[in-house]
Structure 1
């Protein structure tokens, strides 16, 4: 859990996670979104991979990163529960809008 909090402590890494919510992205495209050097972004990616928040898939010279949402959700749920909050993952039955009852 410590590695997850270390990863989430940095605003650049949080922004990378947010960008990956829309789907997998290449390392170059992610790095281009920030005003830092590519080696600095590589270090950020390494921290996120070590925390198991993202996974990397290499194809030739391209590295694609993918968000591991279940790991992030588990960590956040564990953190909330440590403070006595009882959260449950959203399910279609809890998030669906209820239909008004018809009057007879």
Structure 2
């Protein structure tokens, strides 16, 4: 049974703060190719996690792989915009 492996989607928690940064970083390091997130539950994005999202975005662009945040909550959209992360909102599908 060959074929394309299933893409894993990482459900982001309500609060992306310093306390989540270390486990988030570890999870990102384990992703070998695509970065696909579900932002439907996110209420707040802190600076460290924002930097990790930017790093994942840049890694995906360098590798020619996928970066996508699905179901972005209004709060997450606003937080990313305030931090200059509009490009993360536009990165749907292939990076």
State TM-score, norm by structure 2.
0.26
Q: Work out which structure has the larger RCO, using CA pairs closer than 8 Å and 6 or more positions apart in sequence.
A: 2
The structure where helix makes up a greater share of residues is 1
State TM-score, norm by structure 1.
0.24
Q: Whose Rg is larger? A: 1
